[in-house]
Structure 1
Amino acid sequence: MSRDVDPSSFSGYTIVNPIVRKREDVGNGKAIVTLVLFFLSNVAVIFPVKIPIFHGITVTVSKLLSWTRIISPPDGDEPQKRRHIGLNYISVPLFSVLLLLAIGAINGTVIRKGIVGDEGVKPINILALFISLAYISISLDFTGLLRFSAFWVARKGGSSGRLLFLYLYVFFLVSGVIVGNDPVILSGTAFLAYFTRVTGITPPTAWIFSQFAAANMASVVLVSSNPTNLVLSGAFSISFISYTAHVVLPFLAAAVLVYPVLAFILFRSPTLVPRSISVDTPNSNSDASTTLVDKNGAIFGSILLAVTLGVLVGTSAIDVPVWQVTVPAALIMLARDFWHDWHQYRKHGEREPPEEFQMHRVSSRGHIIPSQGTTVLSESTMSTGSSVLSPVPTHSADSPTRRQTDFTTYLRSQIGKLAARFPTVVTIAQRLPVLLVPFAFLMFILVQGLSNQGWVEIFTKWWIAWVNKTGTVGAIGGMGFISCLLCNVCGTNIGATILLARVLQSWFAQDPSLDPRTRDGAIYALAFGSNYGAFTLTFSASLAGLLWRQILRQKGIRIRARQFLVLNLPIAFVAMTASLGALVGEVYVVHRGTAG
């Protein structure tokens, strides 16, 4: 793989030149099937369905599994539960890949490139970085640090509703920059559900929508804050320093201009943001530090995360693989969590994790929240600021042993014992977005299949025609708003970013002398679109949106799809316009004097 550096570019990244394929015959059956299956895979993310299994098949399979002692025999007095096959964001892409492999539309090389990497995009490295940073962030969240910080900020707002609204907006922006959008969605949403309830703010619409927008806007700042940023940095070999330097000012422009839209246009009603509120929550007279479940863990995790991000920034310019920085850091945090749980076990005996950290749900529409569970804080925990660790009931003498029971029951009991001894580690493992790994791999493979069949070249021709007519400004505006839109129809923002990054790579390879202003502008416009696209039209524009809706449902707050669209559309429009406008000015300043 060759890498050519344009000496006129001061962007701090290397363009990874893919092989320019001349194949553009997409009229054959394999190419058409590939495109159709790609879009069906994306539809499954937006509209998952469950197909009932014929009752006779369910009974037969249950008897077979019972006979082999994999599951316990069914209770004859209870009716057999109806089973379903879920067509969702894992099963449909998997079926699509297998079908394409069967008909010869893709081969082993395409699958290997979709996993190991090709043309600068290395999915396995990207996901290793993402999962390891996710563990550190979730472990830090588990200590109660975000809840403590949210309570502290809430008290600083005093009785002024407008001031508190501003403080929390800034708090979620800062938190989103540091730890990414998912931890802010996990803890921040549950905090707001509790806070608005005890302060009598009904409905909590203004507070939860401002938090959702702030978290997703902030995730654009650091490469490590969103997997879409990792895709872009890998595709174009952008250093962490260069990436943040290019996006921080446009992000600040959006953050500043979005707030008046929230506070004075969309949510100006005193019902939504009261002029005065009472913050005398049940624990308001106690020290806010009591909300910390593990104070030492919060300090350790904060230092480790800061050091990890600092090393990532420092080593990004010397071509050190980022996973070699984050994976050891995650293992250090894992070792610390094991030690903490073992120390508590030796001191107090077996424990259960706090109830709010034991949730692992599937939504009513079939969306599986990617093994993250949800950090839904119970009222008792939120009000007292502490987590109650209840002892696990001891097993009676006639409890089933390994030889007396089926494998499923035995496995469940062993996991229960492990969770009782290591509640922190097991709960964090449940919350890790592990299902994002196969989903991302499958999307990489499907996009690689599109490229293999010539579709990426066709999309590139359309894009080149647009840029030739509109220039640099059209490239920035077009890529920003197209990526926002495609987040809603391309299997979340991850699928949209993978596809559009391939289009940009193909474009750069076909025109090595491209104006650096246009080139830079298109890349960073995609960065903003892939992050801001999460709050545009549909919940499924991002996995964070699905997670956000699920947490709200569990707290009794229902957000309709139409409400999500109507409220988020003006927020996204202002954010994108502000960031893209700032980006246009930025590329002209950075590349002044270059060919235009």
Structure 2
Amino acid sequence: MEGLSMDQLLATDPHASVGSWKAILTLVLFFLSNVAVILPLRVPIPIVLLHIGHHILVLLRIVPDSHTPLKTRHVHLNFITVPLASVLLLLAAGVFDGKTLRDGIVGTSGIQPLNIMALFISLAYISISLDATGLFRFLAFWVASKGGSSGRKLFTYLYIFFLVSGVVVGNDPVILSGTAFLAYFTRVAGITPPTAWIFSQFAAANMASVVLVSSNPTNLVLSGAFSVSFLSYAAHVVLPFLAASVCVYPLLLVLFRARSSQLPQPPLIPKRIDIGLSQAEVRATLVDQRGAIFGSVLLLVTLGVLVGVSTIGVPVWEVTVPPAVIMLLRDLHYDWTTHRAKKCSSGPSPGQDDSESSIPPAEPRIQAHTGIDQEQHELREVSSRIPTSSGPELDLSSAVSLPVSLKATPAPPVTLLTLISPVVSRITKTFPTVTHIAERLPVALLPFAFLMFILVQGLSTLGWVELFARWWAAWIARTGVLGAVGGMGLLSCLFCNFCGTNIGATILLARVLQLWADAGDVDVDPRTRDGALYALALGSNFGAFTLTFSASLAGLLWRQILRQKGIHVRGQQFALVNAPISVVAMLVGCAVLVGEVYVEHRGE
């Protein structure tokens, strides 16, 4: 389909390619996959099927037999299961073939999903490992301490801090650590509800993620689809980002001051705040200073190399995977040395030899916070802290003291679960930091992204993307540069909410722009092309704080962390608070972008 001329694209009969049952079925399943992201469901499994399944697992020696009643289980129809079922159904129906799957995973037309996901998961590991050292928590408390007792000044400092952090490490690490930090901070400071603080952090993190290609997988999709270097990408979006962040700040003050004036509600941004933390307590939050320094240098060098080699065509995974492996090896070494030190310091218990000595749970990157009461100590367990408590375990050494009658009791049959559980438990105890980081990695993003790539590739193969490109070409023919920037900015923000998060929206709209921009014999105005491309970049990031939590995976993560901390944000509140923020951010960003493309391409 690539290579069509503009006239051919505009004259294409849409019903010629999308009227078949295969095309309609693909579009319907794509729509249902997006609905599952917005409205996930849980379907209970009939108890009869549960008993049959459990009996089969027992016969296969996978799980031990249990006489306790089975708990109710559910089938989750969510952002992974429904797209997966859609792809499998399309394969079974003969709609998709091997080439569609291959193009959706390996990539085509400049979009390389494997390359993108390798870069994303590598940088995610480095960022989360860096967070596990306590660095982000330490910096957040340090910034909070610099605000003194002024609520307005502290609000400003934290807003700037989240902007800077989001630029460097992306939105996900800021959401992971910053949300839990704010939940603790607002509770200790007596700020109820914490609306102003959590919403400003969410907007700042997602605005900042637009600056670097590596900060958001949507940026990676765009840079790969249009062969844009990291440096060129950042140069085009940094001014719209700065303008949007500057204009959003006074809006936040006005918005939350207006809300706080409705008595008897307490102020959302108090005039005075006393966080009650000494400098020693702030320093205690940095639990692995060497790891923080090592990880910071490694991350900055990696980002620098990414920008430097992006102009010479080096695959990005070759730049990011080796540093992630280095960080993993460092974490493994840290856990192993910590484990060995604790084992040696504990020594064997009386009556036990060295092989039976009890090993206390390792506490990597955690230090006691002296001078802080137990309640505050528990509240400060933000997402970067690693749980050290473990469930009760069977003490094998006590078996020697059991009565003979008990010793003669037949041992339960060996199952796969009983064989694996001790191994998993020992690995978790020996390498708790690595285990914790692995649990926090956005691994669920990988199958979701690949499935969306496959579905969009199917839409492209069956003619839907050609139809959408035809509509877009007709729109541009009537509206020009302003229509390209404004139209793509609006579409991308809306599609984030109704098209399988900002990732699904970016994949689909990037395909549309590719087909439109590559139309054969008529050159597309470079101002229009750049305007549409970078408006999509702004919308795919700013669209995360628009109408629904599911506009981004970061939004779903943000809501989950807040719920764990006892803070419940309703969907209606999310839309009402974010709507004016996203409108101002997009209007300002798009206005600056229009000026940029005219200045850059003046005289053309």
Residue 155 and residue 63 in structure 1: after superposition, are their counterparts in 2 closer, same or farther (change >3 A)?
A: same
SS of aligned partner of 1:279:
coil
Q: Aligned match of 2:146 in 156, 169, 180? A: 156
Shift of residue 406, structure 1, vs aligned partner = 2.2
Q: Give the Å deviation of 1:247.
A: 0.3
Aligned position for 1:380: 377
Structural mapping, 1:474-553, within 5 Å: 474-510=483-519, 512-553=522-563
After TM superposition, the structure 1 = structure 2 runs for residues 138-217 of structure 1, keeping only pairs within 5 Å, are 138-217=128-207
Q: How many residues align?
A: 556
TM-score computed with the length of structure 2 as normaliser: 0.88
CA distance in 1, matches of 2:164, 2:143: 12
Alpha-carbon separation, structure 2, partners of 1:338 and 1:431? 16
Q: What residue identity is the alignment partner of 1:177?
A: V
Secondary structure of the residue aligned to 2:567 is coil
Separation in 1 of the partners of 2:128 and 2:451? 25
Structure whose residues are more often helix by fraction:
2
Which of 328, 340, 360 is the equivalent residue of 2:334? 340
CA distance in 2, matches of 1:285, 1:521: 48
Deviation (angstroms), 1:73: 1.0
Change (3 A) 1:383 1:567: closer
Query: Are 2:335 and 2:364, in contact at CA under 8 Å, matched by a contact in 1?
Result: no
Cα displacement string for residues 92-115 of structure 1 (whole angstroms, at most 9, x for unaligned residues) = 111111111122221100100000
Q: Secondary structure at the match of 1:45?
A: helix
Range moving further from structure 2, 317-326 or 404-413: 404-413
Q: Which moved more, 1:509-518 or 1:581-590?
A: 509-518
Contact 2:33 2:500 in 1 (8 A): yes
**Native 8 Å contact 1:352 1:419 kept in 2:** no
Distance 1:356 1:312, change over 3 A: closer
Q: Could you say which residue in structure 2 is the equivalent of 1:554?
A: 564
Whole-angstrom distance in 1 between the partners of 2:448 and 2:530:
29
Q: AA paired with 1:65?
A: L
Inter-CA distance 578–353: structure 2 relative to 1 (3 Å threshold): farther
TM-score (norm: length of structure 1): 0.89
User: 1:278 — aligned with what?
Assistant: 274
The 3 A distance-change label for structure 1 pair 353 and 104 is: farther
Secondary structure, counterpart of 2:311 in structure 1: helix
Partners of 1:378 and 1:235 lie apart in 2 by 50
1:320 aligns with 2:314: yes
Distance 1:401 1:506 in 2: 69
Moved more, 539-548 or 49-58: 49-58
Alignment of 1:234 with 2:224, yes or no, is yes
- After superposition, give the CA deviation of every residue in 1:408-436 in whole Å (9 maximum; x if it has no partner): 23323211110100111111111111111
The answer to whether the aligner puts 1:49 opposite 2:46 as a matched pair is: no
SS of 1:198's partner is helix
1:361 counterpart residue number: none
Moved more, 428-437 or 398-407: 398-407
Query: Are the equivalent residues in 2 in contact too, given 1:144–1:294 (CA < 8 A)?
Result: yes
CA contact (8 A) 1:521 1:584 kept: yes
135-144 or 52-61: bigger deviation? 52-61
- The 1-side partners of 2:586 and 2:422 are apart by 50
The CA distance in 2 between the partners of 1:352 and 1:538, in whole Å, is: 41
CA contact (8 A) 2:134 2:365 kept: no
Q: Which amino acid aligns with 2:459?
A: L
Q: Distance in 1 between matches of 2:569 and 2:318?
A: 41
- Take 1:228 and 1:134, find their aligned partners in 2: how far apart are those partners? 14
Q: Please name the residue that 1:97 is paired with.
A: 87
2:572 corresponds to 1:573: no
Q: State which structure, 1 or 2, has the greater radius of gyration over its C-alpha atoms.
A: 2
Alignment partner, residue 589 of structure 1 = 599
User: What amino acid is the match of 2:534?
Assistant: Y
- Pick one of 18, 23, 27 that aligns with 1:31: 23
Distance across 2 between alignment mates of 1:543 and 1:55? 33
Q: CA deviation at 1:516?
A: 0.4
Does residue 308 (structure 1) correspond to residue 305 (structure 2)? The answer is no
Structure 2 residue identity aligned to 1:553: R
How far apart are 1:405 and its partner, in Å?
3.6
Q: 1:489 to 1:110 in 2, by over 3 A?
A: same
Q: CA deviation at 1:34?
A: 0.5
Alignment match, 1:451: 460
- Displacement of 1:288 in angstroms is 2.0
What is the aligned partner in structure 2 of residue 292 from structure 1? 286
Q: SS in structure 1 opposite 2:274?
A: coil
Q: Pairwise CA RMSD of aligned residues?
A: 2.6
User: How far apart are 1:383 and its partner, in Å?
Assistant: 5.2
Secondary structure (helix, strand or coil) at the match of 1:94 reads helix
Unaligned runs of 5+ in 2: 4-8, 261-265, 344-358, 367-373, 400-408
Number of the residue aligned with 2:346: none
C-alpha displacement of 1:346: 1.1
Give secondary structure in 1 for the equivalent of 2:497: coil
Structure 2 CA distance for partners of 1:354 and 1:485, relative to 1, 3 Å: farther
Report if the CA contact (8 A) 1:493-1:534 is conserved.
Answer: yes
Structure 1: runs of 5 or more not aligned: 4-17, 358-376
CA distance in structure 1 between the partners assigned to 2:420 and 2:455 by the alignment: 35
Please point out which of 221, 241, 251 is paired with 2:241: 251
Q: Does 1:60 align with 2:65?
A: no
Preserved CA contact (<8 Å) 1:351 1:390: no
- Report the counterpart of residue 471 of structure 1 in structure 2: 480
**2:420 paired with 1:422:** no
Q: Identify if the C-alpha distance between structure 1 residues 566 and 331 changes in structure 2 by more than 3 Å, giving closer, same or farther.
A: same
Q: Which amino acid aligns with 1:479?
A: M
Instruction: Give the CA deviation at 1:54.
Output: 1.9
Letter in 2 for 1:571: I
**What is the CA-CA distance between 1:79 and the residue it aligns to?**
2.4
* Distance (whole Å) between structure 2 residues aligned to residue 179 and residue 550 of structure 1: 21
The answer (yes or no) to whether the contact 1:381–1:387 under 8 Å persists in 2 is no
Q: Structure 2: how far apart are the matches of 1:483 and 1:74?
A: 51
**How far is the alpha carbon of 1:28 from its aligned partner?**
1.0
